[in-house]
Amino acid sequence: MFETVLVANRGEIAVRVIRTLRRMGIRSVAVYSDADAGAPHVAAADLAVRIGPPPAAQSYLSIERIVEAARATGAQAVHPGYGFLSENTAFAAACAEAGVVFVGPPTAAIEAMGDKIAAKATVAKAGVPVVPGSDGAGLSDQELALAVEQVGYPVLLKPSAGGGGKGMREVHDAAGLAEAITSARREARASFGDDTLLVERLITTPRHIEVQVLADTHGNVIHLGERECSLQRRHQKIVEEAPSALLTVEQRERMGAAAVEAARAVGYTGAGTVEFIVGADRPDQFYFLEMNTRLQVEHPVTEEVHDIDLVEAQLRVAAGEVRPWPLNVRARGHAVEARVYAEDPAAGFLPTGGRILALRTPAGVRVDSGVETGTVVGSDYDPMLAKVVAWGHDRADALGRLDAALRETVLLGVGTNIAFLRALLADPDVRAGRLDTGLVGRRVDDWTAAGPSDDVLVAAAVHALLELEPTGAVVDPFDVPGGWRVGEPAWVSWQMAVAGREPVAVRVRGRAADAACRVGDGPERRCSGALSGDRLTVTVDGLTRAYTVARDGEVLWLGRDGAAWAVRERPPLEAAAAAEQGAGGPVRSPMPGTVTVVEVVAGQVVAAGDRLVVVEAMKMEHVLTAPVDGTVREVTAAVGATVAKDEVLAVVEPAAGEE
């Protein structure tokens, strides 16, 4: 077995691999960019090597720097995790040339499965069912159109060289084909440097089911059942479970056997995943989708159900051991994983960011995390922060435990999808196992429509009141918020803004121990509150709720039951200006990122909807437009500048007719 292993990755997967290395008594080496110098995976490792500045191309994607780090630290093997260089044949070859073992399959297997067209042809020869579609590489636009006619609508255009949903286009009729081919090629070229496309029959109400395989270097291959990964947004998974609620025992065995044959067809070794697409209405028919020649993000659900450490199995296979897995691997119970992302589901899953001000993870479940309190979540890397995994005796038990775990999770300072995940998991269709890959896209508004209730704003106002009140004995009555007056105390008012509803005035009268409160023109309600550390307890009309709170300048973060709200106290001048100018005023960045385009200058007259600034993060562009007709009074954005979420990039003063 190896004495030293370098982990060529970051975040939660690096922490997870290092955990297994430590348990096995193997010295671990972490690599890090400047942005990750204080990251948890760096602290968890026995050694850590700086490999460059934040852009992945200069750090985690630098084959030369990572191989050099392995040499310098005496690492005998490199574990690539997933993403970055995990399926890069040049990296695997560079490791071999340097005398370092690549913990993964042979380069030939990576190459065979890396090209979707070649992969389909390879597994089809082995008898694995494939989706009807084109089987030729490098098809011209005209040849693609002919292939579409042969397959029949609806079809799916897919890049041959990549995944993650980039460059994929659904085409339902001939009228939209030409534009779909053009846009798919453009996105594929930008994402993967290769605009080769293939055509597949579009499976309606598809379910994404994948099979975990393990293979040693001596010809032995087994499968560890399947995972259901149909809950996706933008073709990227957010909830995974094992086993699937769809399959029968016989269907499971057929799919598992097909996965084993697919692995054998390319001489696979190590841990890999064979992905299939299954029609929800025809679970007896399944088709090969692709093979991921690495560890999957969702591997923990398989580990929980089969009581196996897949990273340990990878290492033992790479060290040449024969059948380094239990002789009788059997499934037990059910496991569900939810991915916690720094994103805003209500804004089309735009990435968020910021500094994590408070973080508490639930007990009794598995949490694979790559962040901690104080971690700065920026726009340089993938927005996944952690995975919460719950095991139960059956599916209902596992779903219930996962929901309870998400309810107990506290993460303040960065907008996340935790509340969305809870709403998704509570949906009757999800509970009943009626899933398909388009479910989230069709129903996202159902799970994000509700904005924060008045009680959240009351809690923020009570907290603000507590901050103003003297902590000792009151000597001067004018020290009390609201001042002293004959009769009732005066109202104390704040203008508050929170995502999901319009800014509103919140007023409180009295002491925090016994006060009256009003939100906007709503009714007067009795409220009280107390603060102990970061725990705020607020009672409104006899109902008491507890919040975790953290302040970040003018923003107060409140967390409860897995949800989190960033309540911003608007400065009086800004609130007054907004009231006077209608929808004009500051134009803020909806996400942390980099300014790529600035299309206006101060003094320029604009119309509502005109492009002002473009911000890019995680390879996603977001165009900021003028909210009203008016004049640009200030531009603070600069091309190439890094900006934070909610940072003011421009100010638009409405035209006279807009007031």
Nearest to 217 by CA among 92, 311, 106: 106
Do residues 197 and 137 touch, judged by C-beta distance below 8 A? no
Distance between CA 107 and CA 588 in Å, rounded? 46
Q: Which helix (H) or strand (E) holds 509?
A: strand 501-511
Question: Looking at residue 481, what is its pLDDT?
Answer: 66
Q: Check if the beta carbon of residue 271 is closer than 8 Å to that of residue 105.
A: no
How remote is the C-alpha of 163 from its chain's centroid?
16
119-130+206-332 and 337-437, same CATH topology = yes
Give the CATH number of domain 337-437; options: 3.30.470.20, 3.40.718.10, 3.40.190.10, 1.20.1730.10: 3.30.470.20
Residue in the block written with tokens 């990964």: 229
DSSP string covering 163-215, please? -TTTT-EEE-SGGGHHHHHHHHHHHHHHHHS---EEEEEPPSSEEEEEEEEEE
Strands across the sheet containing 648-654: 585-588, 648-654, 630-635, 605-606
- By C-alpha distance, which of 77, 6, 92, 89 is closest to 41? 6
Per the CB < 8 A criterion, the answer to whether 116 and 160 are in contact is yes
112 touches 126 (CB < 8 A): no
pLDDT at residue 581 in the model? 47
Determine the topology of domain 132-201 in CATH.
Dna Ligase; domain 1 (3.30.1490)
Q: Is the pLDDT of residue 281 over 90?
A: no
Contact indicator for 423, 334 with CB cutoff of 8 Å? no
CB neighbour class for 330 (10 Å; exposed up to 12, middle 13-18, buried from 19) = exposed
Helix (H, G, I), strand (E, B) or coil at 52: strand
Angle at 611 between CA 609 and CA 617, to 5 degrees: 120
What gap in Å lies between CA 54 and CA 543, rounded to an integer?
A: 47
Give the separation between CA 275 and CA 210, rounded to whole angstroms.
4
Residue 513's identity, in one-letter code, is A
Q: Report whether pLDDT(346) > 70.
A: yes
Cis ω before 154 (30° cut-off from 0): yes
- pLDDT score, position 618: 66
**424-478 tens-digit pLDDT:** 999 999 999 999 999 999 999 999 988 899 999 999 999 999 998 876 665 555 5
The pLDDT, as a whole number, for residue 659 is 46
Fold adopted by 4-103: Rossmann fold (3.40.50)
- Here the tokens at position 139 are 């098809």
Instruction: State how far the Cα of 119 lies from the Cα of 116, in Å rounded to an integer.
Output: 5
Predicted confidence (pLDDT) per residue in 524-565, tens digit: 999 999 999 999 999 999 999 999 999 998 899 999 999 999
**SS3 state at 617:** strand
CB count, 10 Å around CB of 450?
A: 12
**Tell me, which fold does domain 454-569 have in CATH?**
Glycoprotein, Type 4 Pilin (3.30.700)
d(CA 528, CA 516): 8
For the stretch 200-209, pLDDT in tens is 888 888 999 9
pLDDT in tens, 251-266: 999 999 999 999 999 9
Six-digit token pair at 608?
A: 């509502």
Give per-residue pLDDT as tens, 155-193: 999 898 876 677 889 999 999 999 999 999 988 888 788
Residue 480 has pLDDT above 70, yes or no: no
In angstroms, rounded to a whole number, what is the distance separating the alpha carbons of residues 558 and 526? Answer: 20
CATH number of 582-658: 2.40.50.100
Three-class DSSP category at 240? strand
Whole-model pTM: value is: 0.86
DSSP result, 367-408: EEES--TT-EE-SSS--EEEEEEEEESSHHHHHHHHHHHHHH
Query: In sequence order, what are the beta bridge partners of 536?
Result: 531, 547
Whether pLDDT at 619 is above 70: no
Task: Enter the DSSP assignment of 341.
Answer: E
pLDDT tens-digit series, residues 63-105: 999 999 999 999 999 999 999 999 999 999 999 999 999 999 9
Determine the Cα–Cα distance for residues 215 and 642; give it in Å rounded to an integer.
45
Of 596, 594, 595, 658, the C-alpha closest to 626 is: 658
The CATH fold assigned to 119-130+206-332 is D-amino Acid Aminotransferase; Chain A, domain 1 (3.30.470)
List, for residues 361-374, the tens digit of each pLDDT value.
999 999 999 999 99
Tokens at 131, concatenated: 């989706």
What is the DSSP code (8-state) at residue 491? P
The whole-angstrom separation of Cα 489 and Cα 78 is 68
Nearest-angstrom CA–CA distance, 126 and 354: 49
Would you kindly state where each structural domain of the chain is located, as residue ranges? Answer: 4-103, 119-130+206-332, 132-201, 337-437, 454-569, 582-658
